[in-house]
């Protein structure tokens, strides 16, 4: 990470020229406002740092998108998922979940349990819970940028899915991004949509029916973006 | 204050909004009464089942009321509908009025297009509140909807947003 290019009133702008996301997050979490500029090859780390900062209450912008934090909407009652076990291996900053969502520990998985990290091939609990619920194992992880588009690697198969979703850490709301193009092993999305509400780098692809299944079954909401972000996306003038 | 919660189209969430409002205003410390003047009587049954007791000296009386029973004696009218059904509604009451657009689409591209239409409705009301499709509310659990929390604040005179979007950063419960 470069030395902050300037600071004023606890704001810092950072060029993400490193893949050490945890170190960057530790340095930035005490700032009031953070602007992140990814290099084409550090998209994943930028989304992880941006998501972790927003969920920590740090107003964050990626590449000129409007600042935002992630609203902290915590469940009032526990969401128990006894059929799910998790291999705890938080490799990325946003691979965590609020304690109000209860999954078992996968050290000694019970027979028939869906193990996040085994049956779902990464140890991200948020998308793992979606995968369990939707009975699918495909995920997309964003890795790099190509001009105004962000490119995600597909692990699995994209069929009729039109959107990518990633829950917040409280599993009450989500970021939704429309797939622009899907090829065999990669998808592209508009980077501005991805940067308006960063919550991490891993997403689950869904079709319209699956979206409603998740919202109803897991009791979640899809609240889109702030008005500033909608204006930024250029759709509302 | 008499608050009428109404709307012509069935199934859009009028009763849910009225009950949510009742609960939130009570949590905010107000004395609230409730009257079910709807055709379905769902709210009345629900409140009897949870042991709701009428308040003789309320700050607010929430009415779940069918449009034909709206008599003009209310102080505030809350019209609840979904955007595709807005053409079925009328809102010519001479009172303060709030439009609640319930079950907004969860798909961002569609939502952004719908906002263009919603923008034309904003001048017609004192406030427009957009409630997203919410699995808690869909399952009858009257919790965890910040847009309706903000509606409660508007009704109580603690906020005066012209337009409330589903994405609300300053969630009242949040503590970082």
Q: What is the pLDDT of residue B175?
A: 43
Q: What is the pLDDT of residue B174?
A: 41
Distance (Å, rounded) from C-alpha B130 to C-alpha B148? Answer: 9
pLDDT at A237 over 50: no
A228 located within any domain: no
> A84 and A54 in one domain?
no
Contact A167, A130 (CB under 8 A): yes
A125 located within any domain: yes
Which chain A residue has the Cα nearest residue B175? A72
Q: What is the pLDDT of residue B173?
A: 45
The HSE-up count of residue A19 (CA atoms within 13 Å, CB side) is 6
A74 located within any domain: no
Mutate to test the interface with A, among B128, B135, B161, B162 (most CBs of A within 10 A): B135
Size of interface A-B (CB pairs under 8 A): 107
A235 located within any domain: no
Q: What is the pLDDT of residue B144?
A: 87
> A176 and A109 in one domain?
yes
Q: Which residues 6+ apart lie within 8 Å of B95 measured at CB?
A: B72, B74, B75, B76, B77
Question: Which of the residue ranges A104-108, A141-145, B96-100 would you say has the lowest mean pLDDT?
Answer: A104-108
> A147 and A51 in one domain?
no
Q: What is the pLDDT of residue A180?
A: 97
DSSP category for residue A88? -
Domain B2-164 top-level CATH class: alpha beta
> A97 and A40 in one domain?
no
pLDDT at A1 over 60: no
Task: Note down the domain range covering A140.
Answer: 79-217
pLDDT digits (tens, 9 = 90+) for A154-200: 999 999 999 999 999 999 999 999 999 999 899 999 999 999 999 99
Judging contacts by C-beta atoms under 8 Å, the chain A residues touching residue B134 are: 215, 220-221
Q: What is the pLDDT of residue A207?
A: 98
Q: What is the mean pLDDT of residues A194-218?
A: 98
> A83 and A162 in one domain?
yes
Domain-wise residue ranges, chain B = 2-164
Which candidate from B133, B139, B169 shows the least CB-CB separation from A222? B133
How many other CB atoms are there within 10 angstroms of residue B45's CB atom? 11
Q: What is the pLDDT of residue A5?
A: 52
Per-residue pLDDT for chain B (176 aa), expressed as one digit of tens each? 999 999 999 999 999 999 999 999 999 999 999 999 999 999 999 999 999 999 999 999 999 999 999 999 999 999 999 999 999 999 999 999 999 999 999 999 999 999 999 999 999 999 999 999 999 999 999 998 999 999 999 999 999 999 999 999 876 444 44
Q: Is A3 or B85 the better-scoring residue by pLDDT? A: B85
User: What is the distance between the terminal CA atoms of chain A, rounded to a whole angstrom?
Assistant: 36
Closest CA of chain A from B114, distance in Å: 10
Using CA atoms, how far residue A166 sits from B25, B27, B28, B146, in Å, is 33, 32, 33, 20
Total number of domains constituting chain A: 2
> A50 and A117 in one domain?
no
Domain end, chosen from A33, A62, A91, is at: A62
Which candidate from A177, A221, A225 shows the least CB-CB separation from B134? A221
């Amino acid at each position: 990470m470069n030395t902050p290019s300037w600071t004023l009133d606890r704001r810092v702008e950072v060029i993400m020229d490193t893949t050490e996301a945890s170190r960057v997050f530790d340095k930035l979490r005490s700032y009031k406002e953070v602007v992140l500029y990814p290099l084409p090859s550090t998209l994943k780390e930028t989304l992880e740092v941006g998501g972790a900062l927003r969920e920590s209450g740090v107003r964050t912008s990626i590449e000129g998108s409007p600042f935002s934090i992630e609203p902290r909407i915590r469940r009032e009652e526990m969401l128990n998922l006894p059929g799910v076990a998790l291999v705890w291996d938080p490799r990325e900053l946003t691979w965590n979940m609020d304690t109000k969502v209860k999954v078992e520990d996968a050290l000694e998985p019970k027979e028939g349990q869906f193990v996040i990290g085994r049956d779902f091939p990464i140890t991200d609990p948020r998308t793992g819970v979606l995968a369990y619920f939707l009975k699918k194992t495909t995920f997309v992880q964003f890795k790099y940028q190509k001009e105004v588009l962000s490119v995600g690697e597909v692990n699995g198969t994209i069929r009729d899915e039109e959107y990518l979703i990633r829950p917040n850490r409280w599993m009450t709301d989500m970021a939704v991004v429309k797939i622009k193009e899907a090829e065999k092993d990669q998808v592209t999305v508009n980077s501005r949509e991805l940067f308006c509400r960063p919550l991490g780098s891993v997403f689950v692809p869904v079709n319209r029916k699956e979206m409603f299944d998740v919202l109803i079954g897991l009791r979640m909401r899809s609240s889109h973006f702030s008005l500033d972000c909608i204006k930024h996306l250029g759709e509302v003038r | 204050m008499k608050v009428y919660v109404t709307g012509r189209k069935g199934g859009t969430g009028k009763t849910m909004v009225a009950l949510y409002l009742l609960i939130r205003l009570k949590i905010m410390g107000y004395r609230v009464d409730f009257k079910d003047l709807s055709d379905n009587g769902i709210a009345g049954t629900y409140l009897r089942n949870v042991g709701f007791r009428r308040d003789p000296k309320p700050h607010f009386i929430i009415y779940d009321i069918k449009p034909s029973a709206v008599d003009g004696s209310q102080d505030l009218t809350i019209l609840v509908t979904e955007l595709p059904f807005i053409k079925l509604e009328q809102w010519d009451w001479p009172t303060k009025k709030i439009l609640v657009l319930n079950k907004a689409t969860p798909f961002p591209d569609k939502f952004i297009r719908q906002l263009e239409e919603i923008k034309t409705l904003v001048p017609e009301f004192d406030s427009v509140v957009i409630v997203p499709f919410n699995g808690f509310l869909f399952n009858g659990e009257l919790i965890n909807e910040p847009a309706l929390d903000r509606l409660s604040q508007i009704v109580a005179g603690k906020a005066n947003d012209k337009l409330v979007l589903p994405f609300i950063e300053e969630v009242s419960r949040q503590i970082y």
